[in-house]
Chains A and B, each alone.
Chain A
Amino acid sequence: MYTKDGEKYFIVDAHIALWDARVENQRTIHGKQFIDCFYDYHRNLSPASELWSYEEYLYQGGERLMRDVFELGYADHAIFQPARLGEFYKTGFGQTQEALALTRANPDKLTYNHYFDPRDGERGLDRLRQDAEEMGLKGVKLYTADWHGDSRGYKLSDPWTYRYLEVAREVGIKNIHVHKGPTIRPLDRDAFDVADVDHVATDFTDLNFVVEHCGLPRLEDFCWIATQEPNVYAGLAVAIPFMHTRPRYFAQIIGELLYWLDENRIFFSSDYALWTPKWLVETFVDFQIPEDMSEYAPLTVDQKKKILGLNAAAVYDIPVPEELQVANPPAEAEREAVSVA
């Protein structure tokens, strides 16, 4: 919980990772390039006081994660969203067993979301059923640009993905997080194009699709889809740190999201360990739309409370103490599709 000016905020960090990018886990040069790219993001967008050394950045471990996210970072709950990246890292980038053990040791604080890859075929379907049961999955993180043999990406609209989503539905996995972010690695069949979210959101109306990084830098495509599909959500991972270096840019992003979606479908995500959550929570609570941007209404305290935790808590059935709830809670909000031509 975070308190500022007498207001209490229930915090759900909807996107964290326990990664291992140390040299001994790097399978190829791409493993190094990938973490270097993340480290550049970290160095480019973090305040000076929050910068880590490169060595610290490669691996944090569970103890440090708990301290950074919960003790220092104010989170009441956090959700793992791992990326496999098996072609880049020997035991993968996200550390499944370590994260799972940490979740089991702290069940009230952590939720473990796993991943599936439709290119794993039939065997992967059995594996998904097994993982769902063993790991108690409520959600998965899909990294559509992950490499897999000769393939450098897949689409949610691929027939095999449909089969996986059908199994997900059958085993109670309700929340599908999809990485659609800054342009990395797609070829012409753009693995981060958000258009495929449109297909699955229409065909699986009982599942929630959380678009991580809200489709940036294709915000317009994402907004267009999310406006029409009430089961599409925006994850603020990678978008939210722009508050520090590019506050006017962030104001426009949040302004557009509130316009095209609504205040009930936006999730706070630090994307730990890309960034530490503490300054993100503090800065967001203090953040306001610049006055000269008259095209956007000012952010209200209740909107911030919803974005920082209540929205994700509603979707993940995380209990929220009565005193931290808002008058118009997200769970009771009517999900409406806006009709667009």
Chain B
Amino acid sequence: MTITVVDRHRECLDALSVVLDPELDEPITDLGFVRSLDVEGATVTVHLRLPTSFCSPNFAYLMASDSKDALTDLFWTERVVVELDDHHDSDLINAGLAADAGYRGTFRHEAEQDLDELRLTFRRKAHTAAMERALTTLLRADDTLRESEIGDVTLADLRDERTTTALLRRRVALGISTDPGAVVLVDDHGNPYPREEVPLRLRRARSTRISIDGNAHFCRGLLATRYPGSEQDQTFRPEGAEASDLRGDHPLLPLFVTRENS
């Protein structure tokens, strides 16, 4: 019996590991966003926590509803409760999730777009960042390569395994060719840029990558500040890591105020 519960707990975590924070392009399990996970028979209860009370409500909703979907898809679950803790829209989002009201049903007049559009925007950003990481790694490894020649680099030219694998995954997600002869620097639809635009497009991709890496580390840091000990639940992120991330000794004052309503 115990083994079954342990297995089911593991299965739930595995299911949740495909749920991504759209902006950071990382699984919520790696980010430490899963606060608790309880399995009781066929009932699963999950609490999610985020780095601030004011995390974007659409992202919060997206992660919470994706979590509910991922757990509901397990063949043995009968009842799945996902609750978002300590968010300014916790009540609204939790009620929406409990009623399966959907995004528009939850936020009503404030929701104008579809969530799919939001997902696509961030999938494209993730691809742009992965593309820049692969190309910058190549540029740094090869002194003779010029930024102006970057437009000719193909997938077969990439030698760094980690950044290449990450890039291929993002290309698949967008339906962009993974043929070894395919050009690396492409737009959201897989089309290469005119030669004269190449350096500028690489620079723009770089600023996208800087935004994502910086934000990912800021969010990790804020989560640890808000929930002391939560850093134990976070997986090391190599992209954009700094010396201070390895030490993990950034001093923090204990928060001695009581957090009512949390």
A72: interface (CB < 8 Å): no
A37 B52 Cβ-Cβ under 8 A: yes
B56 touches A183 (CB 8 A): yes
| C-alpha spacing A260/B190, complex, angstroms | 25
**CB within 8 Å for A340 and B200 given contacts A187-B110, A256-B207:** yes
Q: Are A184 and B250 in contact (CB under 8 A)?
A: no
Write the A269-302 contact mask toward B (1 if CB under 8 angstroms, else 0): 0000000000000000000000000110000000
- What is the chain A residue whose CB lies nearest that of B215? A217
Report the separation of the CA atoms of residues A182 and B53 in the bound assembly, to the nearest whole angstrom.
12
| Interface, chain A (partner B; CB < 8 A) | 29-30, 32-34, 36-37, 40-41, 43-45, 48, 51, 53-54, 150, 152, 182-190, 216-220, 223-224, 242, 245-249, 252-253, 256, 259-260, 294-295, 340-341
Interface residues of B in 196-246 (CB under 8 A from A): 197, 200, 203-208, 210-215, 217-218, 221-222, 224-226, 240, 242, 244
What residues on B are CB-neighbors of A259 within 8 Å? Answer: 203
Decide if the interface of chain A is mainly helix, strand, loop or mixed.
helix
Evaluate contact between B53 and A253: CB separation under 8 angstroms. no
Question: A43 to B113, Cβ gap below 8 A?
Answer: no
- Of B72-80, B176-184, B252-260, which binds chain A? B252-260
**13 cross-chain CB contacts under 8 A:** A29-B88, A36-B259, A44-B250, A183-B55, A183-B56, A183-B59, A188-B58, A188-B111, A188-B112, A220-B205, A223-B207, A249-B214, A249-B240
**B57 adjacent to chain A (CB < 8 Å):** yes
**Is B66 part of the binding interface, using a Cβ–Cβ cutoff of 8 Å?**
no
List B contacts of A246 (CB < 8 A): 214, 217-218, 242, 244
Is the CB–CB distance between A40 and B58 below 8 Å? no
Give, as a whole number of angstroms, the nearest-CB distance from A148 to chain B. 13
User: What is the count of residue pairs linking A and B with beta-carbon distances less than 8 angstroms?
Assistant: 142
Q: Which residue of A lies closest to B244 (CB)?
A: A245
A219 adjacent to B261 (CB under 8 Å): no
Roughly how many angstroms separate A253 CA and B217 CA in the complex, as a whole number?
Answer: 14
Minimum distance in angstroms from B243 CB to a CB of chain A: 9
The reply to whether B214 and A217 form a contact with Cβ atoms under 8 Å apart is yes
B203's nearest neighbour on chain A, judged by CB, is A259
| Contact between A40 and B23, CB atoms less than 8 A apart | no
Closest 3 CB pairs of A and B: A184-B54, A33-B53, A217-B215
Contacting residues, chain A, for B140 (C-beta < 8 A): 294
Q: Which residues of B have CB within 8 Å of A247? A: 242
Q: By the criterion CB–CB under 8 Å, are B222 and A41 in contact?
A: yes
Known: A187-B111, A341-B200. 17 other contacts (CB 8 A): A37-B52, A43-B255, A44-B218, A184-B52, A186-B57, A187-B107, A188-B117, A216-B211, A220-B208, A220-B210, A220-B211, A223-B207, A242-B214, A246-B242, A246-B244, A248-B240, A248-B242
Give bound CA distance, A45 to B56, whole Å.
21
Residues of B within 8 A of A189 (CB): 110, 112-113
B255 contacts A217, C-beta separation under 8 Å: no
User: Across the interface, do A249 and B211 meet the contact criterion of CB distance under 8 Å?
Assistant: no
- B146 at the A interface (CB under 8 A): no
Known contacts being A249-B210, A260-B207, is A188 close to B113, with CB within 8 Å? yes
Check A252 against B253 for contact (C-beta < 8 Å): no
Chain B residues near A190: list those with CB within 8 A: 56
Given contacts A51-B253, A188-B112, A341-B197, contact A40 B211 (CB under 8 A): no
A223 contacts B204, C-beta separation under 8 Å: yes
